[in-house]
Amino acid sequence: METEYYKFGPYKIDPKEVFYSTDLSYAMVNLRPVVPGNCSLLNLRRNAAKCHILFDLCMYISSVGELCDGPEAGQTVAHVHIHILPRKSGDFEKNDEIYDAIDEKENELKQKLDLDKERKDRSLDEMAEEAAEYRKLFS
């Protein structure tokens, strides 16, 4: 898909960061990857309608590259699954405090797995280089 830029919520994503796209979805490299190969899959639509498209894209991207799966990926149950975080009004004093709670749990996990690596923003050139390498896998 040729576009001036992709939308990700309020953000404009440079096409150089995108390594695969369809009429309804796209895959992009991350600004702050946790591990090599960390990428994001997005619907071109901003809402959850047709979210099955993301699962289709996930299966395709995972089948071409190395799927992060199993204990090394933090998977504690050897079965494909999705985590859902049910929310209700007032469950946190400030809505974004859920991220602090997630970070706390992630820090506990990092201590157990010794994954305490610094994540830093990458330049557009660095992300474009990675996306170009991934594009080769899908052409």
Q: What is the pLDDT of residues 112-134, one digit of tens each?
A: 655 445 667 889 999 999 999 99
Tell the residue number behind the tokens 């080769």, with chain if given: 136
Give the up-direction half-sphere exposure of residue 121: CA atoms within 13 A in the CB hemisphere. 2
81 tagged catalytic: yes
Residue type, 33: P
Collapsing DSSP to helix, strand or coil, 100 comes out as: helix
Q: Which residues pair with 18 in a beta bridge?
A: 28
What is the predicted pLDDT for the residue at 115? 46
Name the pTM for this structure.
0.62
Amino acid identity of 62?
A: S
Give pLDDT, residue 16. Answer: 96
Nearest of 40, 55, 53 to residue 7 by alpha carbon: 40
Residue of 52, 79, 81, 83 with catalytic role: 81
The pLDDT value recorded for residue 138 is 86
Express each pLDDT in 38-89 by its tens digit.
788 888 877 776 778 888 888 888 777 665 566 766 666 665 655 556 678 8
The whole-angstrom separation of Cα 40 and Cα 95 is 23
